């Protein structure tokens, strides 16, 4: 088997209507990018290969796959790098074979690429240090865990032992230690959101995601508090109306509940669908946000005009 055969499949699927001439051109562009072994091809190189203008290719490619040709190429290069590192390749050899022109380019982007340095990723995350804390809340116990870069895991349960087991299962090779107060302000901010109150500050995150997951998660944060959207509505807002199942998977794989509010998504038939921490918690989160949003509206309406 060649190395290219071991590269994971693309982040987004090829267009469903592969019979049309236009969609076949997009598929050709994907194959050209997948087989390009000199880094990331330029838009002009891709367009010339498939016989289209760069402007038309950019528009059609983005409309069909939800990401631009450059974003697609970057993601494929990241996936190839991860595959090579998992196979045990040395970092230097892996970075050049994956198409990175220099080690500095790789390490500059390692946060976005791996969530950790390449050498650490190659060891399955061994040595990554994660601090954790639990606090009581209306939904039971809330666990917040973070690396030095930001929050990497948020969970609910009634048992601290269960929560710690969840964390260890999520990061089996990491060094997991109890927090000594560093997470206090981040945890307080997460609690505000659990209670349905408006955020006071942004929270740094240390999570890995595909380009499509990032788009879904961003869309979830843009849903107003107290409102929910169907997977189909989110998919349409992303310009990918047939991707409701992919939207559902992106919600299900969200490791930082509340911070990325996947509880604001539901099935097209109106059902709340599954929630990793239980449907009762999902219902209470939605109710808390609705109550908080309504309280703000009422308070604003009853306030006297400014003098």
Catalytic site positions: 262
Q: Which residues of 79-92 are buried (b: 16+ CB within 10 A; e: fewer)?
A: bbbbbbbeeebebe
Place of tokens 């929270």: 203
Cβ-Cβ contacts under 8 Å for 301 (sequence gap 6 or more): none
Q: Tokens for 218, please give them.
A: 């961003």
Q: Tokens for 177, please give them.
A: 């230690």
Sign of CA dihedral 272, 274, 276, 279: positive
Place of tokens 């939605």: 286
Q: Which residues of 25-61 are buried (b: 16+ CB within 10 A; e: fewer)?
A: bbeebbebbbebeeebbebeebbebbebeeeebbebb
Residue 226: left if φ>0, alpha if ψ -120 to 50, beta else—which one?
Answer: left
Q: Which whole-number Å values give the CA distances from 59 to 33, 64, 70, 168, in the listed order?
A: 17, 9, 12, 43
Is residue 137 a contact partner of residue 144, using CB atoms and an 8 Å limit?
A: no
Sign of CA dihedral 268, 193, 222, 149: negative
Q: Tokens for 299, please give them.
A: 């308070």
């Amino acid at each position: 088997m060649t190395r290219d055969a071991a590269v994971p499949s693309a982040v987004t699927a090829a267009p469903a209507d592969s019979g049309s001439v236009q969609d076949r051109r997009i598929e050709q562009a994907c194959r050209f990018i997948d087989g390009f072994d000199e880094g990331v091809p330029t838009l002009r190189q891709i367009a010339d290969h498939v016989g289209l203008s760069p402007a038309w290719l950019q528009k059609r490619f983005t409309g069909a796959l939800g990401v631009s040709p450059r974003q697609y190429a970057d993601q494929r290069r990241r996936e190839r790098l991860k595959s090579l590192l998992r196979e045990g390749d040395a970092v230097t050899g892996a970075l050049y074979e994956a198409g990175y022109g220099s080690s500095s380019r790789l390490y500059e982007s390692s946060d976005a690429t791996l969530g950790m340095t390449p050498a650490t990723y190659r060891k399955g995350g061994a040595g990554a240090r994660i601090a954790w804390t639990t606090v009581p809340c209306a939904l039971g116990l809330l666990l917040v865990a973070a690396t030095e870069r930001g929050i990497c895991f948020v969970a609910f349960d009634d048992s601290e032992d269960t929560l710690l087991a969840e964390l260890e299962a999520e990061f089996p090779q990491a060094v997991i230690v109890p927090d000594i107060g560093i997470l206090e302000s981040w945890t307080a901010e997460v609690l505000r959101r659990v209670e349905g109150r408006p955020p006071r500050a942004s929270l740094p995150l240390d999570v890995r995601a595909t380009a499509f997951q990032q788009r879904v998660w961003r869309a979830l944060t843009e849903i107003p508090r107290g409102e929910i959207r169907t997977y189909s509505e989110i998919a349409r807002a992303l310009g990918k109306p047939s991707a409701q199942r992919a939207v559902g998977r992106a919600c299900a794989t969200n490791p930082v509940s509340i911070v990325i509010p996947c509880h604001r998504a539901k099935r097209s038939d109106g059902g709340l669908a599954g929630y990793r921490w239980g449907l009762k918690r999902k219902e209470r989160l939605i109710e808390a946000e609705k109550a908080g949003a309504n309280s703000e509206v009422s308070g604003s309406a009853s306030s006297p005009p400014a003098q």
